[in-house]
Structures are given as C-alpha cells and as structure tokens.
Amino acid sequence: MPPLPDPHPVPSEDLDRLLSAGLESRRRDQLYRSRVVLGSPQGPEVLVDGQRYLGFCSNDYLGLAADPRVRDAWCEAARQYGVGSGASHLIVGHAQPHHALEEELAAFLGTERTLLFSTGYMANLGIVSALAGRQDELFEDRLNHASLIDAALLSRARLRRYPHADGAALAELLAQSRSRRKLVLTDGVFSMDGDVAPLPRLLAAAAANGAWLVVDDAHGIGVLGATGRGTLEHHHLQSTQVPVLMGTLGKALGTFGAFVAGTETLVETLIQQARSYIYTTALPPALAAASRMSLRIAQEESWRRDKLQDLVEQFRNGARQIGLSLGGSATPIQPLILGANDKALGAARALRRRGILVSPIRPPTVPAGRARLRLTFTAAHESTHVERLLIALEEVFPCP
Ligand SMILES: *Cc1c(COP(=O)(O)O)cnc(C)c1O
C-alpha cells in the first residue's frame, strides 16, 4: 500500500485565512456590513441593545407588521393549521389559507390569477427562469433590484442593461435584438432611490418591439395608487396591461412572502416550470392567513396611504428648509445621497447618537460613489417623529 500523503494543515484554517483577508479588505474599503439586533416588534420606535431608537429604515410602509389584527389572524390560523406547511405546494403543502389569499390578491389586482411564492427573491428567479432560456434576451434597468439581476443570470438568457428609466434607450436596444423572445424587467418603485418607473413608456417600447414587460412592484403594492394597487394604478394602468406583475407581502403588507399576478396561462406555466416554486416548502398556512388580514386592512384603511403621503411631504419640505438636497422621489423611500462610503457610515453613526436609526446603503447595493442614507417612512410614524428626524439631520448636516 502506498504511504499516505503528508498530513495537511486543518482545511478550515486554510479557508479561514483566505476569508479573513477578504473581510479585512472589505473593512478597509468601508464596505463591511453588520446587523443590528432588534429587541422589539417592528414600529416607529424600536429597541436595539436595550436602547430605544426612532427608526426610519423599515419597509413596513403601512405600519402593519405588528398590527394586533394581523397578529391575531396568524395566531388563530396557527391554532387551526399548526405551524409548518409540511410539504411543497405541489405535494400536499397548499392549504386553504394559501388558496384564499391567491384568490383575494387576484380580485384586488383585477387579474385572472395570482401565485404565491415564499419570497420576492424566489418569485423573480421563478418568473425569469420559467419564461426565458439560452436563446432569449432580457432587458433590465441599470438600477433594478439584485434579485432581478440574479434571475437573469440563472436563466442563462442574454442580459442587456439600459440606462435608468430610459424608455428611448430601451426601445433602441429592443429594436437591435434578433432574439426569439424578449422580456423587459423593471422595478415599479426603485428600491434605493424611491422613484417610479415610467411604465407607459416602457410598455410602448416593449409593444413596438414584440417584448413582454415584467414589473417587480415590491415597493409599490399597498403604497401607490388610490386603492393601493401600486405603480400600475399610479400610472392609471389596469393590471391586465402588464403581462407579468410581481409583488411582495413583506413590505407594505407587513407579513412575508410574494406573489405573481397574471393570466391563468401564466400562472399555470409557473406552477409547471418555476423551479423556485416547485422545489421548496410552502409558506406556513398561518402566514397566508395573516396576509389575508393585512390585505383587507390595506384596502379598507386608505387613510394609511394618505397619512404616509403627508409625512413624506412634511419631510421633504422640512429637508428643503434646512438645505438638504433630496432627489425627486415622492414615495416613502427618501434617499440622502452622500457619495463616499465613510460619509454615509459617519452620518448614520451621528444620527444613532441622537437616538435615530437609519441605514447607510453602500455598494454593491448602490453604484460606487453613490453611498447614501436610505430614509423610509411608515403610516405608523407621527408628524412629531418627522420633526425629531429633521432636528437631528440639521445637527448632523449643518447649513453651509
Ligand atoms: C425586497 C425586494 C425583493 C425581494 O423580496 P423578498 O420578499 O424580500 O425576498 C424583490 N424586488 C425588490 C424590488 C425588492 O425591493
């Protein structure tokens, strides 16, 4: 028998040495990320390390994440259905609350069908890989959410990026394409900038060039439009005018999960072909029951959208008065673009010392040199909260 090779160093030590170098370089570039540990429910005031902070960083736009009615719906359904779904939707994990939620979402949006996914990330992977393959071409806005980019990579279709919100550039790229199938993918509301995609122009470009539009409305559903149908309603479009609409439940609806809305044929195709739908455990049924309740509240309590809009206006007016330069966003996502990574980190730390929690956003979530504070507002905030934020911002960014 040949002798055994020399003993190697413990493999995990080798790997750790390699990884440490990577972490160190992240730290040097001010790109290191760490988590705050929340000790309270989501809300305008949160507990971190035993300290109370006024928070402006959640996506709980309608203030429903800790709503007692949503919580009670969850508890009641957990008593009836237990906790785990026990299987994927196609095996035996698809329960009545899931099915009812799908029907109610379709009625809300005015589409034939909807299909629940475990997360928005998985919904995007499922949509793109079911609808596009090697011979096809995808057209994406430069500032699209990472999940839409990853979906494109997974599908192996050819990926083209067009300049942000530029319908004319998109039309040109589409006209050059010889591909059999073309999909245009866009955020409805851009997650880090808060601006709204020019859907009518994108639709026109797509229609003129035989392409289909896919809208990821994670930040629009529940928030935009008189009845909260999202970016489409904001543009006075019917849901049936966009072939594929994706929305999430973990943001304005305050729960967890996502859905795709479209025709019967689209949804049946996704059920057959979307791997991120087929090969994963179904959401807990009680979670679907909680989402049904929050969908009902989001429809009935339109004051939440009105209040949110008032708070955003109050913030924008106040920020202008203290000389802060904001972008053009009219949604609850209000970025304060600072440029360098250390500026965003420093500003977040200075606000935190003043009892205010905001998230610094750095590359690769945003382009290099465009680090920012991403401030978000919710219907659970009060006007006095916005005042406190403005006072703190004035101290951190004194007028030149
Ligand atoms: C948050 C987000 C997603 C992912 O949704 P999850 O349910 O959190 O996985 C997808 N697209 C956009 C634009 C988002 O902001």
Q: What separation in Å is there between the alpha carbon of 365 and the centre of ligand 1?
A: 13
Binding pocket residue ranges, ligand 1, CB within 6 Å: 119-121, 124, 145, 147, 187, 191, 216, 218-219, 248, 250, 258
**What's the topology of domain 68-300?**
Aspartate Aminotransferase; domain 2 (3.40.640)
For the chain, domain boundaries: 36-56+302-396, 68-300
Burial 225-245 (b: 16+ CB within 10 A, else e): beebbbbbbbbebebeebbbb
Q: What does the pLDDT look like over 133-154, one tens digit per residue? A: 999 999 999 999 999 999 999 9
| 5 preceded by a cis bond (ω within 30 of 0) | no
235 assigned to active site: no
Q: What separation in Å is there between the alpha carbon of 248 and the centre of ligand 1?
A: 7
Which of 59, 117, 118, 121 for mutating ligand 1's site (highest number of atoms within 8 Å of CB)?
121
Residue with token string 């916005």: 386
pLDDT of amino acid 299: 97
Q: Catalytic one among 98, 251, 307, 381? A: 251
Question: What residue owns the CA closest to ligand 1's atom 3?
Answer: 120
Pairing of strands 113-117, 258-262: antiparallel
Q: Catalytic one among 94, 182, 219, 235? A: 219
**Which atom of ligand 1 lies nearest, measured to the CA of 190?**
13
343 assigned to active site: no
Question: What residue owns the CA closest to ligand 1's atom 6?
Answer: 120
Residue 178 three-state SS:
coil
**118 near 260, Cβ under 8 Å?**
no
Instruction: Pick the closest to residue 74 from 226, 332, 237, 283 (CA basis).
Output: 283
Which of 143, 147, 365 for mutating ligand 1's site (highest number of atoms within 8 Å of CB)?
147
CA dihedral 21, 24, 30, 32 (to 10 degrees): 90
Residues of the chain with pLDDT under 50: none
Question: What residue owns the CA closest to ligand 1's atom 2?
Answer: 218
Q: What separation in Å is there between the alpha carbon of 10 and the centre of ligand 1?
A: 39
Q: What separation in Å is there between the alpha carbon of 249 and the centre of ligand 1?
A: 9
307 assigned to active site: no
Q: From CA 19, how far away is CA 15, in angstroms rounded?
A: 6
Q: What tokens does 353 get?
A: 């010392």
Q: What separation in Å is there between the alpha carbon of 176 and the centre of ligand 1?
A: 31
pLDDT of amino acid 399: 77
Q: From CA 94, how far away is CA 89, in angstroms rounded?
A: 4
CATH number of 36-56+302-396: 3.90.1150.10
pLDDT of amino acid 224: 98
Question: What residue owns the CA closest to ligand 1's atom 1?
Answer: 218
pLDDT of amino acid 216: 98
Q: What pTM does this model have?
A: 0.95
Question: What residue owns the CA closest to ligand 1's atom 5?
Answer: 120
